[in-house]
Amino acid sequence: MKAHTRETQATMTPEKSLQYLKEGNQRFQDNLKAHRNLLEQVNDTSSGQFPFATILSCIDSRVSAELVFDQGLGDVFSIRIAGNFVNQDILGSMEFGCKLAGTKLIVVLGHTSCGAIKGACDNARLGNLTAMLNKIKPAVNAISEPKDPSLRNSSNLEFVDNVAAKNVALTIERIRHESEVLSTMEENGEIMIVGAMYNINDGGVTFLN
């Protein structure tokens, strides 16, 4: 499989880009990864890059966007931060990826059993981690069930995963609210912004939108 070029990027629509990722994840689950000559892709992308998607995911070592979507060099912009939330710098990176570099799709990718989500659920405190986890707390507070405080922590994996999915939804809301560039592009049909959850148990990605 060849690296994307300016010409192939131009043929990508938001819908086609999403389908590419869905097909790639199915290949990943089936262990039938597309054949790529990565060194050839290094050469092909040495004079420019033409990715079709921008993916915001967690730093979790099990959730590499390029691997779980079976993509090669030059295919996607990968933004990674614990808890896959946004701030001004990440929004700027997304604006670069879409407005200037031509990607047609933004994916906010959460995952099951997320350590950052668990930390926010447990109200963890540790150096700079404290301020970071506070950015995830709105998702914790937005999940009303269970009401029993003893069940609203990292030992309840169903609660953790519900918070993770809510965190994805709230992150998308923030992208639309805090980036006029991206919200306008979405309104004009130039890009799509979608959420997804990766299951660390089977390698599957479920799209939430």
How far is 53 from 10, CA to CA, in rounded Å?
A: 12
Binding-site annotation: residue ranges for Zn(2+): 58, 60, 111, 114
Residue 56: count of CB within 10 angstroms of its CB = 28
| 3-class SS of residue 8 | helix
Task: Examine residue 146 and say whether the peptide bond preceding it is cis (omega within 30 degrees of 0).
Answer: yes
The helix-helix angle for 180-187 and 157-178 (nearest 10°) equals: 90
Binding-site annotation: residue ranges: 58, 60, 111, 114
**In sequence order, what DSSP letters do the residues of 82-145 get, joined into one string?**
TT----HHHHHHHHIIIIIT---EEEEEEETT-HHHHHHHTT---HHHHHHHHTTHHHHHH---
Region of 83 (left: φ > 0; alpha: ψ -120 to 50; beta: rest) is left
Q: How far is CA 154 from CA 29, 140, 176, 196, in A?
A: 27, 11, 29, 21
